[in-house]
Amino acid sequence: MFRFIVRRLLQLIPALFGLSILLFIWLHRLPGGPETAILGERGTPEMRAAIRENLGLDEPILVQYGRFMQRMFRLDLGTSIATKREVTTEFLQRFPGTVELAATAMIIAILVGIPLGYLAARRRGRLLDHVSVAGSLIGVCIPVFFLAYVLKAIFAENLHLFPASGRQDPTIEATRITNFFVLDGLMTREWDAAADALWHLVLPGLALASIPLAIIVRITRASVLEVLGEDFVRTAEAKGLTERVVRQRHVLRNAMLPVATTIGLLTGGLLSGAVLTETVFAFSGIGAFIADSISQRDYPVLMGFIMIIAVVFVLVNLLVDLSYSLIDPRVRVR
């Protein structure tokens, strides 16, 4: 197991190196540049040239890439062109919000999707099966931003049941330790702050969970149907085992491998930032910030954020691979 983890981590090095080359070339091929975002359309050629020289963008691209790799080896991601703050500081300030939002969405999707998919498979062809399949199709087809606007209009602006924007009520004086607002409230025993931060996650979490929930329902249903047709399930039923034992030890456990893979991929995607959801609810995560950085051609932010997100994505999928050995002991043996 240890050698497997080390091997996967070593595979991360060439992957990140290749990503850095492709990303660097792509960013520098974008039309315009940071000088256009800073000066607008009225900047003179002399002013644009001065900004490019100040930022080091007038040097050959290989020199710029070499300087970037030197900073990466020192874990120095540079300074944002737009905010003039360290990229690491910007990331540590905004990434916890994205993690909280993604975790909320995935918890909702898992707690609802897996039981619903299992029940739909067990009642194949009945009303519940038809409703779950139709609901999953609707969940995939509805755009996230549209669902976010609908939830916000109904439950926040009309019924006033949930807050309409932000991560926490600005009037609450909360202690910041990790920038995970819910966790900080629990660590400092500021229960009102933790509850308010959790309350702010409900609507954006529901909107963001719609597509993962629909996918998990369909994957779970298909996987359970496949396992139900296996000989070992019929043998277990013929031996007189209770339905609970057959369900937990034989059906669900063997059906969870493709579901775990799907959950890992969906989680990695959500951690890269939910631009539309964060924008609708004015949620300070990395998604909206990356979108703004693209329009501002903020190269250090884009390079740093995307490289870190790539590392996080690989680590999440490594955890998924490790979970295989817990779900199916045969994977551990191989």
Query: What is the per-residue DSSP string for 6-51?
Result: HHHHHHHHHHHHHHHHHHHHHHHHSSS-HHHHHHGGG--HHHHHHH
Give me 231's structure tokens.
């000989």
Cβ–Cβ under 8 Å, residues 100 and 181? yes
First-last CA distance in the chain: 11
Question: What does the pLDDT read at residue 72?
Answer: 79
User: What's the pLDDT at 247?
Assistant: 76
Amino acid letter, residue 114: I
Residues 33 and 57 sit within 8 Å (Cβ to Cβ): yes
Of all residues in the chain, what percent are helix, strand and coil, respectively (each to 5)?
A: 75, 0, 20
Torsion angle, alpha carbons of 46, 48, 49, 53, to 10:
140
Query: What is the spatial distance between Cα 234 and Cα 198, in angstroms, rounded to a whole number?
Result: 44
Per-residue pLDDT of the chain in tens (334 residues, 90 and over written 9): 677 778 777 877 888 888 888 877 777 776 666 666 566 666 677 777 777 777 677 777 788 888 878 887 887 888 887 888 888 888 888 899 999 999 999 999 999 999 999 899 888 888 888 998 898 888 888 888 899 999 999 999 999 899 988 889 888 888 888 889 999 999 999 999 999 999 999 999 999 999 999 999 999 999 988 888 777 777 877 777 777 777 777 787 788 888 988 988 888 888 776 788 888 898 888 888 888 888 777 878 888 888 888 888 888 878 887 777 777 666 654 5
Tell me which amino acid residue 77 is. Answer: L
Domain ranges of the chain: 97-283
| Element (DSSP H or E) covering residue 235 | helix 231-238
Q: Which two tokens stand for residue 118?
A: 């299992």
8 Å CB contact between 293 and 305: yes
Tell the CATH topology of 97-283: MetI-like fold (1.10.3720)
- Can you tell me whether residue 79 is helix, strand or coil? strand
Predicted pLDDT at 195:
93
Report yes or no: 275 and 287 within 8 Å, Cβ to Cβ: yes
| pLDDT recorded at residue 34 | 65
Please give the structure tokens belonging to residue 184.
């900080």
Q: What is the pLDDT of residue 156?
A: 92
Asked if 278 and 291 count as a contact pair (C-beta separation under 8 A), the reply is: no
